[in-house]
Amino acid sequence: MKTGIMGGTFDPIHYGHLLAAEEARINLGIDRLIFVPTGDPAYKRKITPAEDRYAMTLLATAGVLEYSVSRIEIDRKEETHTIDTLREFIKSGIKPEDLYFITGLDAMLSITSWFDYKKIPDLCTLVTARRPGYPVSGIETLPDFIKDKLKYIEIPQFAISSTEIRERSRDGRGIRFLVPHLVEIYIESNKLYKSK
């Protein structure tokens, strides 16, 4: 049984995330996909509270048999690192050869700055997909022990980011068809991205 993990801030989750995760699932024959919203990171801009981001991730994935959402990073008290999340999934009984960690290429290219990144390829296969608006290449600059565990997949290009969705929502430009309908309703009813 192959498990894919898609991490992200998901502020909010959008069709770019869902498409990337689903394409990875189909390409690699992954049986189940777990979305892992990050906890509230100290270093990033002030982000929407984890519980709202978690709720939207649930709404976006509800009803898809192969999908689930994990609170592993949200509930962690300490600062959250990918390596710890992978270790916890391994501890829960998933074998490293059955674990896939999925990110966009922009995120993957920063892997050498992640905490304890050298141990990451021992715990999973890395899966990455091109993201519109970012360079297509850069993989060749990664160390060999990363490249050996890295699978690059081509996916339909959907040029959208959470940043753009927040801006559109704030400016009243509309976000329909960029995020799942229930996520759109959640954002609007809670006025998530209206400046306070």
By CB under 6 A, name the binding residues for ligand ATP.
8-11, 16-17, 20, 103-104, 106-107, 129, 131, 158, 160-163
Closest to ligand ATP by CB, 123 vs 131, is 131
d(CA 196, CA 184): 19
Closest to ligand ATP by CB, 108 vs 123, is 108
Burial class (CB in 10 A: 0-12, 13-18, 19+), 159: exposed
Shortest spacing between CB 28 and ligand ATP, in angstroms: 16
Shortest spacing between CB 93 and ligand ATP, in angstroms: 25
Shortest spacing between CB 140 and ligand ATP, in angstroms: 18
Closest to ligand ATP by CB, 95 vs 134, is 134
Question: By the 8 A CB rule, do 96 and 124 touch?
Answer: yes
Q: Cα angle at 10 between 88 and 35, to 5 degrees?
A: 35
Q: Can you say how many angstroms the Cα of residue 192 is from the centroid of all Cα atoms in its chain?
A: 20
Question: In this structure, what token pair is assigned to residue 92?
Answer: 């829960």
d(CA 88, CA 106): 25
- Nearest residue to ligand ATP, by Cβ distance, number only: 104
Closest to ligand ATP by CB, 123 vs 166, is 166
Shortest spacing between CB 175 and ligand ATP, in angstroms: 13
Give long-range contacts, CB 8 A cutoff, 24+ apart: 84-87: 85/5, 85/7, 85/36, 86/5, 86/120, 86/123, 86/124, 87/123
Shortest spacing between CB 111 and ligand ATP, in angstroms: 11
Closest to ligand ATP by CB, 94 vs 109, is 109
